[in-house]
Chain A
Amino acid sequence: MKEAKKQGGLNAEIQSRIGHQLRAMYDDVVRQGVPDRFAELIRKLDGPEAAAAQIDETAKNDGRD
């Protein structure tokens, strides 16, 4: 019984540690905010057609290499 209790405690501690590491990794990126390239991208697109055109352009460029 004592052994089982100890294992349960260890497991909870490990799980909280994993949760912490996962959020630390994630939040580090979130804190970087919005890179300029994305702010510019969204600002310059007039609407759906412009976005679709850029997707086609990217696909064409990728196909070349």
Chain B
Amino acid sequence: MPLTDSLRDDILASVPSLRAFAISLSGNGDRADDLVQETLLRAIANIDSFQPGSNLPAWLFTILRNLFRSDYRKRRREVEDAEGNYAKTLKTQPSQNAHLEFEEFRTALDKLPQDQREALILVGASGFSYEDAAAICGCAVGTIKSRVNRARSKLSALLYVEGAEDFGPDETVRAVIGGNGG
């Protein structure tokens, strides 16, 4: 459809969540904003292929997700302090304890496989349905569900039962988190 003023407004209204998605995926504020910029350019360049009345946020998220996965990571390979850069993008600096906890969370999130991380963010933070998330990632609904479950189990293990490794093998971790092997 043509780039009407109301479509511009709708695209603009998606920018905050596109940024949040990009930062959650990449762990880096500057990189994320480049990614958002490229997403907006591509969306407008291809606006004729957007179906009026269909889900605009899902369409934009699909573009961003594909950009991130395809060429973006290959192109920008600087070694960077992801957590440090992310912290700088925060509006309000959290207290020391909260900041530590946040960094631990961020580090654990970065340890997830890409498939699981994006599924968890789309469903758990962006608020997309499993169906929309599946469409964005180009996979089956059941696949999204199992990725989200695996992401949650893995984060539990990384964040809350990591100390268990001191006492025994992986079985300890699996027992404590209730073993979601799926």
> Taking the complex as formed, is B140 at the interface, i.e. its CB lies under 8 A from any CB of chain A?
no
> Can you list, as one digit per residue, whether each of A1-39 has a CB less than 8 Å from chain B (1) or not (0)?
000000110110011011101111111111111110111
- Partner of B16 from the list A10, A34, A46 (CB cut-off 8 Å) is A34
Bound Cα distance A41, B3 (Å): 14
Contacts of A22 on B, CB cut-off 8 Å?
105, 109, 120-121, 124-125
Complex CA–CA separation, A23 to B15 (angstroms): 17
Q: Which residue of A lies closest to B16 (CB)?
A: A30
List chain B residues, Cβ under 8 A from A58: 38, 41
Contacts A42-B8, A45-B44; A21 near B36 (Cβ below 8 A): no
Q: Are B42 and A55 in contact (CB under 8 A)?
A: yes
Which residues of the other chain, A, contact B75 by a CB distance below 8 angstroms? 62
Q: A22-B121, A23-B124, A42-B8 are in contact. Are A29 and B41 (CB under 8 A)?
A: no
Main SS at interface, chain A: helix
The reply to whether B40 and A41 contact each other, CB–CB distance below 8 Å, is yes
Given contacts A10-B176, A15-B156, contact A48 B47 (CB under 8 A): yes
Q: Known contacts A22-B121, A30-B17, A38-B40; decide if A14 and B102 are in contact (CB<8 Å).
A: no
Q: Which of B150-182 contact A (CB under 8 A)?
A: 152, 155-156, 159-160, 175-178
Query: Chain B, 1-36, contact with A by CB distance < 8 Å: what is the 0/1 string?
Result: 011000010011001110111011000000001001
Residue of B nearest to A39 (CB): B12
Knowing A15-B152, A28-B90, A51-B41, say if A8 contacts B19 (CB, 8 Å): no
Taking A25-B102, A48-B48, A51-B44 as contacts, is the C-beta distance between A38 and B125 under 8 angstroms? no
Q: Which residues of A contact B160 (CB under 8 A)?
A: 14, 17
Given contacts A35-B15, A62-B75, 12 further A-B contacts (CB under 8 A): A17-B160, A19-B124, A24-B102, A25-B125, A26-B24, A28-B90, A30-B20, A33-B16, A38-B12, A43-B8, A47-B44, A48-B45
Q: List 17 A-B contacts (CB under 8 A).
A: A8-B178, A10-B176, A15-B156, A22-B109, A26-B24, A28-B20, A28-B91, A29-B23, A31-B91, A32-B89, A35-B15, A42-B40, A48-B3, A48-B46, A48-B47, A50-B44, A51-B43
